[in-house]
Structures are given as C-alpha cells and as structure tokens.
Structure 1
Amino acid sequence: MKLIVYNVRDDEIPFVEKWGRDHQIEVTTTTTTLNTETAAEAAGFDGVSCLQTIPYSKELFAALQRLGIHYLALRNVGTDNIDIQAAKANNVQITNVPAYSPESIAEFAVMMALYLSRKVGYMQQQLQEQHEFHFSPAFMGRLISEQTVGVIGTGRIGRHAIQLFRGLGANVIAYDKYPQKVAGGAFKYVDHLEDIFKQSDIISLHMPATADNFHLFDHEVFEEMKPNAILINTARGTIVNTNDLIFALESGEIAAAGIDTLEDESIDLQDSRSTKKITDADLIKLSMMPNVILTPHSAFHTTESVKNMVNISLNNLKTMAEGGKPADLVD
C-alpha cells in the first residue's frame, strides 16, 4: 500500500512519518495543493490525504478516476468545498475528521472573546502606532460573567465553547436547527435566531457552511444586534458578509469582531511557506482596526489537533484501501 499526503505542512510531517513507521506503510508527502494539474503526482498511489478549503471540483474527481484513485481522506471537518455528487459519479470515496480537537477551536473562540471584551487591541494600538504606553480610561472592558453569550451551533465544538463560557460565569443561550437535550441547566435554547441576535453581547459561530446560512450575518442582522455586541467566527467565512461586517464595525452597529475564517480564502492563506504580502483591501482594513482580532484560519492549530488530523485521515485511508468501511465516510 502506498499513500500520498497533499498540502502537507512542516508541523504535520513528524506525525505523518511516525504513522508510516508504526503501520509499515509507505507514505509520501508533498506541499502541492490538490487540483486537476497536480493530481498526476498521485499516480500509482492507493489513496490521497488532503487539507484545503479551496474547491475539490468535478474535474478533479474525473482526474482521480482516470488515475485509478478511489479514496480521498480529508484532514479537516468541512466538506462544503467538495462536489460530493461528482465524487460519487467518479467512484471516489471521501472521509473527513469530524472531531480532531473540539477543545482547540472552542478555546480559541473564548480567547478572542476575552481579548475583545478587555479591549486589548486598543492597548496594542496605543503602543504600536502612538508609541505610548500608559493607562487609559478608554481601555475599560467588560467581564465575561456580565455578558450573555449566544452560541450558534451546538455540535462538539459549540458544546465545549458553552462549557468554557459557562466556566467564566456567562449567561449562555444557544440556537441549533437540531437542538439536543440540555443537562444540568448549562444553557438554554432559543426558538429563533433573532433571539440570539437581539439578546447576545457575544455571538460565537460553530456551525457548518450551508446554502441556507450563506451571508447569514449581513447588514440587516448587524442592525438587529446590540451596539456593544462582539461577533466571533471560527466556523466558516461564507457565513458573514465581509463588506457588511466592515460597515457595521466602522459605523458602530456592533462593537468588535474576532475573525478566524474569511470569505474566498486563498491558497496563500493556507500555505505556511508563503512569503506573499497581504494585498486584499478588506483584510488590510480589518487588520488595522483595534476592535478586530484577525487570524489566518488557525483556531484548530494545536499539537493535539494536528496529530489527530493526520492519524485519523491516514487510518481512514488504510481502512478504505483494505476494503473496509471507515466510520468517517462522507455521504
């Protein structure tokens, strides 16, 4: 058996190599992004592992079919960038990693909420732009315990975020299209998203991207939110209309935003070896705002996450190549 790992980062390589040694399987790594041109690198391999948020197109699956490759194991959760029907039509089975470390993303969301609630960005701006370093009444923040946190999406990540926010004393409300039983009064579900928009001081997003929630957060929603509200997005960039978010932040419709996922994420954003400078006007504008914390899709990035993403992905490939049915099959 031979496997190939696309889009490999330096931090993943030790885990890939260890997995290969432990299972006595040949695993080749490449930094290449998987697309119709680079699929040829997979010729002669039994399966492909990949990590990218750019599209997996029908043309790509046709190319994999021609190469005789029928197994694609993602190292991430999201499948909104995959043409599932094209994969099926070309007899390519797909797996994902539905839970590599919910704690990692949940902790990052809470970190962003703390950073923005305590106005650390304004302190950094004073130091970096004005070259001053002193106390200011303008830096007065708010305790998490005096705020209502609205969590949208109560899967593994959302539930862990709720646990952490509750640990800090927050009043937590939540919305999910498919609500679960709530034990111990940790939070309460609301019936409508509008309740989250209107009642929350902090809104933390933890749902997948779907056609129904494309640009869910737009100008109308920002107008419904509290003027002191903080939006945290560690889910998917398409859920938030970037232009409307910028207007809401500049006009005072909302107070702050923590943004780890962006619309139209480029290959360069995912390339840890890239040295290209930022040219996107929206990114530049957001990066200069003291009421914004902007990170390059890094909420997941802990040693535990990387290890699990690699191991679960390669385990899934091994199972499929041996004729088995992995638990993480995407249908």
Structure 2
Amino acid sequence: MKFIAYNVRDDEIPFIEKWGKDNQIDVQYTTTTLTPETLEEAQGCDGISGLQTIPYSRDLFEAFNKFGIKYLALRNVGTDNVDLQAAKDNDVTITNVPAYSPESIAEFAVTMALYLTRKVGYMQQQLRQKQQFHFSPDFMGRLISEQTVGIVGTGRIGRHAIQLFKGLGAKVIAYDKYPIKNSKLDFQYTTSLADLITQSDIISLHMPATDDNYHQFNHETFELMKDTAILINTARGSIVDTDDLIYALQSGEIAGAGIDTVENESADLQDSRSSKQVTDADVIKLSMMPNVLITPHSAFHTTKSVMNMVTISLNNLKALASGNKVDDQVN
C-alpha cells in the first residue's frame, strides 16, 4: 500500500511521517498543487490526500482514471471546489474530514469579533502612521456582552461559536435552513435570515458554500445590517460579494469585517513555502482598512486541527484501499 499527499505544508510533515511509521505504510508528500500535470508524481500510488482551494476539475479526474487511481481523501471539510460528478464518472471515491476541529474555527471567529469590537485596527493604524499612541474616540469599543450575535449555520462550528459567544455574555440568535432539534445551547432561531441580519450587532458565518448562498451577503444585505454591525466570515469566500463588502465598509453601511476567506483564493494560500507577495487588489484594499481584519484562510490552523486533518484523511485512504467503507465519503 502506498499513498501520496499533495499541497503539504511544513507543519503537516511530522504528522504525515508519524502516521506512515505507525501504520507501516509508505506515504510520500509534495508541496505541489494537485493538477492533471502534477498527477504523474502519484503513479503507482493507491490513493491521494489533497488540500487546496483551487478546483479539482474534470480534467483532473480523467487523469486519475488514466493512472488507475481511485481514491482522493481531502484533508478539509469543503467540497464546493470538487467536481463530484466528474469524480463519479471516473470511478473516483472522495472523502473529506467533516470535523477536524470545529472549536479552532469558532475560536478564531470570536478572536476576530473581539479585535474588531475593541477597535484594535484603529490603534494599529495610528501607531503605523504616527509612531505614537493617544486616546481617540475611534478607539472606543463595545463589550460582547452588550451585543446580539447572529450565527448563520448551526453545524458543528456554529454550535461551538454559540457556546463561546454565550460565554462572553452575548445574546445569541441563529439562522439555519435546517435547524437542529432539542439543542441544549442557549440561543434562539430567527424565522428568517433577514430577521437575523436586522437584529444582529455581530454576524458570524458558519455554513458551507452552495449555489443557493452564492453572494448571499451583498449590497442589499449590507443595507439591512445595522451601520454599527460587524460581519465575520470564516466559512467560504463565495458567500460574500467582495465588491459590495468593500463599498459597505467604505460608505459606512457596516462598521467592520473579519475576513478569513475571500473569493477566488489562489493556491499560494495553502503553500507554506510561498514567498509571493499579495497582488490581489481587493485583498490589499481590505488590508489597509482599520475596520477590517483579513487573514489567509487560517481559522482552522491549530496543532489539533492539523493533526486531525492529516490523520483522518490518511485513515480514510487506508480504509478505502483495504476495501472498507468510510463514514466520510462524500460522493
């Protein structure tokens, strides 16, 4: 049995090597992005572990078929960038890691909310521009306990976010197309997303990307939000219209945004050895705003998450290559 992992970051390597040693399985790894051209490195392997934000395309799965590779185990949750029909057409089984560390992402969302509500960006901007500090009305923040937090999506991550925001004393409301039943968490569902948007001081997104929620947060949505409200997106970039977000921030339609994921993310985001400068005009523009915290899709990035992403992905490959079924199959 032999596997290969693509788009490997340096922090994943110790966990890959340990898993290979513990399971006595040859696991190669490469920092290369998985494409039809780079798939040649996987010749002779029984399965592939992948982690990337760019598409897993039909051409790629046709190349899988050509090389006789039947298994792709993602090291992440999202499958919106995977052509699942093409995988099926080429007899490729896909698995993901549905819960590598929900608390890591939820913690990061709360971290962003605290940063923005306490106006840390304004303090940092003053220090950069003037090399001095002085108290300013711009620095006056609000307690989380004074605010209503709206959680969009009450899956594993959303439920952890509810717990954390409740721990800080916030009133928490939530919206989900498929509400959970018999929850012991202290929150209330709203009857519609619009109700949540109009009531919330902080809105935190925790749903997967779908065709239905593409650009769900757009100019019309931002007009519904309070002009003192903050948007946190640790979910998927496609949910938020970036142009409309920038306009809303510049015009004062909303007060701030924590953005961990943007539209059209490049492969460099997952490359721990990349030294390329950021050239995306929207990312640069957002990074210059004191009411924005923008990060490189790193909400998940804790020791526990990385260990679980590697271990679960490779365990799924081992099970599939051994002829067993796995709970994490997505196609």
TM-score range normalised by the length of the shorter chain: over 0.9
TM-score (norm 1): 0.99
Cα distance in 2 between the residues matched to 1:17 and 1:303: 15
Give 3-state SS (helix, strand or coil) of 2:3's partner: strand
Cα distance in 2 between the residues matched to 1:160 and 1:72: 29
Cα distance in 2 between the residues matched to 1:269 and 1:30: 15
Cα distance in 1 between the residues matched to 2:72 and 2:25: 17
Specify the alignment match of 1:291 in structure 2: 291
Specify the alignment match of 1:103 in structure 2: 103
Specify the alignment match of 1:139 in structure 2: 139
* Contact 1:217 1:240 (C-alpha < 8 Å) held by counterparts: yes
1:1-331 mapped onto 2 (5 Å cutoff)? 1-184=1-184, 186-331=186-331
Give 3-state SS (helix, strand or coil) of 2:11's partner: coil
Q: CA deviation at 1:316?
A: 0.1
Give 3-state SS (helix, strand or coil) of 2:163's partner: helix
Q: Extract unaligned runs of 5+ from structure 1.
A: none
Q: Extract unaligned runs of 5+ from structure 2.
A: none
Give 3-state SS (helix, strand or coil) of 1:116's partner: helix
* Contact 1:150 1:200 (C-alpha < 8 Å) held by counterparts: yes
Q: CA deviation at 1:25?
A: 0.4
Superposition RMSD in Å: 0.8
TM-score (norm 2): 0.99
Cα distance in 2 between the residues matched to 1:75 and 1:237: 19
AA aligned to 1:43 is Q
How many residues of Structure 1 are paired with residues of Structure 2 in the alignment? 331
AA aligned to 2:109 is A
**The 10-residue stretch of structure 1 (222-231 or 181-190) with the greater mean CA deviation from structure 2:** 181-190
Cα distance in 1 between the residues matched to 2:53 and 2:136: 41
Give 3-state SS (helix, strand or coil) of 1:329's partner: coil
**The 10-residue stretch of structure 1 (181-190 or 261-270) with the greater mean CA deviation from structure 2:** 181-190
* Contact 1:182 1:188 (C-alpha < 8 Å) held by counterparts: no
Cα distance in 1 between the residues matched to 2:182 and 2:295: 32
Q: CA deviation at 1:279?
A: 1.4
Q: CA deviation at 1:271?
A: 1.4
Cα distance in 2 between the residues matched to 1:196 and 1:311: 37
* Contact 2:162 2:185 (C-alpha < 8 Å) held by counterparts: no
* Contact 2:8 2:271 (C-alpha < 8 Å) held by counterparts: no
**The 10-residue stretch of structure 1 (184-193 or 242-251) with the greater mean CA deviation from structure 2:** 184-193
